[in-house]
Structure 1
Amino acid sequence: MNRLLVASLLVLLAGPAFAADRLPVIASFSILGDMVGRVGGDRVAVTTLVGPDGDAHVYEPTPDDVKAVAAAKLLVVNGLGFEGWMDRLAEASGYAGPVTVASQGIAAREMAEEDEGEHAEADHADHDHHGTDPHAWQDVANAVTYVKNIAAGLDAADPEGKAIYDANAAAYVAELEALDAEVRAAMAALPTERRKIITSHDAFGYFGAAYGLTLLAPEGVSTESEASAADVARIIRQIRDDAIPAIFVENIKDRRLVDQIAAETQAVVGGELYTDALSAKDGPAPTYVEMIRHNIRTLTEALASKR
């Protein structure tokens, strides 16, 4: 038999075996899926439950999710009350394996009492956030902690791959540290008085605290809630009082509320930001690093303009 044909057959036969040998890992949503893929490389087979442009706040697990979790060797979640449906899913699947909480060790940001009001109190009654902001990945320094926690989880689940996971994590951390410096420089270049924005829901608290951005959101920390008329009126007053220059739409949200507020205040709709989910592969934010770069570019272009 032709040697090339034999080699081709061996490759075809080896392919499924190699795939079967990869560590099956579940990531709760697309940002974590990207991080697990970067650290795990070819040694892991990542299944992401809430995919691109998906809203993890309101996600309803499917029968396929139950099967995927049941077959997994590692479950990676954000924590901080972000995935309110995860415990039910794990129980339904019978999963009893290890769970890596990517946000472990991060100083959680509590929602300020004066920012919550009656609307947020109603929101907390329906969710697991309990006043804790779960969007810690919006501070790139926190993403470094995520990556280190993911690497530790993979090391424990697959000790033979430890050297690969640790090397991948180290390279990724170096990239994230450079990205953090890039974001700080871009924000520092903006006049302080223009570092104010409105977003669809309150997902940028960590970003604002880390990079000096003042922000308001007509909705609370979870997208399940809807802004009340009082919330919207408060936002409109503050836009006018503080001369907030721009309003931003989020990829997981309907933009009609933002358009309504912009029409009543003449604030500029500055573009679309990616908060709780990546874009599709052909979109502007298919990875975490590209998501942060897209967001900072969108923010600075709108805030630097005095249209």
Structure 2
Amino acid sequence: MNKQRLLLSAAAAAFVAFGVAGPASAETLNVVASFTVLADVVKHVGGDHVKVSSLVGPNGDPHEFEPSPADAKTLNAAKVVFVSGEGLEGWMDRLITASGYKGTPVVTSDGINMRTMVDDGKTVTDPHVWNSPVNVKVWVANIEKALSAADPADAADFKANAERYTKVLTELDAYAHSKFDKIPEDRRKVLTSHDAFGYFGREYKVSFLAPLGFSTETEASAANVAKLIEQIKTEHVKAYFFENSNDPRLVKQVAKATGAEPGGELYVESLSKANGPASTYEKMFRYNVDQMAAAMAKSS
């Protein structure tokens, strides 16, 4: 090796030794979210600084999810864990115990104006907050705060990402209003599998009727189904929808007894696979709005 090459090699070694070989890259945070909708929002806020895993997969039901040993391993390796909270992830405490995870999950729904509902004679909190983009703005703020605490070096990026995505959520809210506000309120009625659209209904004055309560783990009694059928007939509900993450047989049974027409499939608690129509939260929300608005307009 000649003298010039020796000098270049020595200089390169010095640059590496003193950390000036190139710009330092921050560590990518290993993040876990409980289900796909939340995971997508975390990805938008975290950007390139996070690697996000969703415990419940596409088209999965977060109420009836059964964690596996692989899920325990994924959770144990996480730097930050996000849940929506309010009873949605009833399996999370068991998984934390099994995994040995030492942290405390971030409850992204903290600060949302929660609604209550009567389910099987009991007053419960409705956990399906994400079906209103107004609520998801609160998610975004809580996610930004948690990621910034875990990775202060990238806090400015998290803030910029959060602000950008909040604008998207504002646009989604305006889009829904543009579709529903022109439909008479007495026509904004939909039959679905279970009571998961309460926050959507509150924002856009849509009435949802469902044979099941807030959780798909419950079972509808014959008396409640009969009462629902009578209510649908009385209120002239014209369209029914089944959901991507649970069994459509009961809602089809109710629809057959009432004459309601199929409106299609809604994505309520889970995103579709990447090649489906609801592979992100933004696509999911727009898709649901379009499906429901089209059915209501047809019945009007």
Scaled by the length of structure 2, what TM-score is found? 0.89
1:82 and 1:134 in contact (8 A); partners too? yes
Q: 53-62 vs 256-265, which deviates more?
A: 256-265
Q: Which has the larger radius of gyration?
A: 2
Equivalents in 2 of 1:158, 1:92: separation in Å?
A: 27
**One-letter code of the match for 2:226?**
A
1:30 and 1:51 in contact (8 A); partners too? yes
Match of 1:295 among 284, 288, 293: 288
User: 1:99: Cα distance to partner?
Assistant: 2.3
Match of 2:88 among 70, 82, 92: 82
Please state whether the residue corresponding to 1:131 is helix, strand or coil.
Answer: strand
Equivalents in 1 of 2:39, 2:234: separation in Å?
A: 41
Equivalents in 2 of 1:261, 1:242: separation in Å?
A: 14
Structure 2: give runs of 5+ residues left out of the alignment. 1-23
1:55 lines up with 2:48 in the alignment = no
Match of 2:251 among 249, 258, 269: 258
Please state whether the residue corresponding to 1:57 is helix, strand or coil.
Answer: coil
**One-letter code of the match for 1:152?**
K
CA RMSD of aligned residues (A): 1.6
Matches within 5 A, 1:155-194: 155-194=148-187
Match of 2:222 among 229, 232, 241: 229
Question: What residue in structure 1 maps to residue 79 of structure 2?
Answer: 73
Please state whether the residue corresponding to 1:281 is helix, strand or coil.
Answer: coil
Equivalents in 2 of 1:267, 1:142: separation in Å?
A: 31
1:92 lines up with 2:98 in the alignment = yes
Question: What residue in structure 2 maps to residue 279 of structure 1?
Answer: 272
User: 1:98: Cα distance to partner?
Assistant: 4.3
| Residues 176-232 of structure 1, C-alpha deviations (whole Å, 9 max, x = no match) | 011111111211011222101111000001110111001111001000112111121
**One-letter code of the match for 1:174?**
K
1:80 and 1:108 in contact (8 A); partners too? no
1:36 and 1:46 in contact (8 A); partners too? yes
User: 1:97: Cα distance to partner?
Assistant: 2.1
Question: What residue in structure 1 maps to residue 239 of structure 2?
Answer: 246
Equivalents in 2 of 1:21, 1:259: separation in Å?
A: 50
Please state whether the residue corresponding to 1:160 is helix, strand or coil.
Answer: helix
Equivalents in 2 of 1:197, 1:203: separation in Å?
A: 12
Equivalents in 1 of 2:210, 2:253: separation in Å?
A: 13
**One-letter code of the match for 2:76?**
A
1:34 lines up with 2:28 in the alignment = no
Quote the sequence identity (%). Answer: 49
Matches within 5 A, 1:189-208: 189-208=182-201
**One-letter code of the match for 1:61?**
P
**One-letter code of the match for 2:168?**
E
User: Where is the helix percentage greater, Structure 1 or Structure 2?
Assistant: 1
**One-letter code of the match for 1:259?**
K
Question: What residue in structure 2 maps to residue 136 of structure 1?
Answer: 129
Please state whether the residue corresponding to 1:175 is helix, strand or coil.
Answer: helix
Please state whether the residue corresponding to 2:183 is helix, strand or coil.
Answer: coil
2:242 and 2:264 in contact (8 A); partners too? yes
1:45 lines up with 2:51 in the alignment = yes
2:187 and 2:299 in contact (8 A); partners too? no
Q: 187-196 vs 291-300, which deviates more?
A: 187-196
Please state whether the residue corresponding to 2:63 is helix, strand or coil.
Answer: helix
User: 1:163: Cα distance to partner?
Assistant: 0.8
Equivalents in 2 of 1:64, 1:293: separation in Å?
A: 33
Equivalents in 1 of 2:183, 2:66: separation in Å?
A: 40
Question: What residue in structure 1 maps to residue 12 of structure 2?
Answer: none
Runs (4+) off by over 4 Å: none
1:138 and 1:204 in contact (8 A); partners too? yes
Match of 1:107 among 107, 113, 116: 113
Give aligned pairs, total: 277
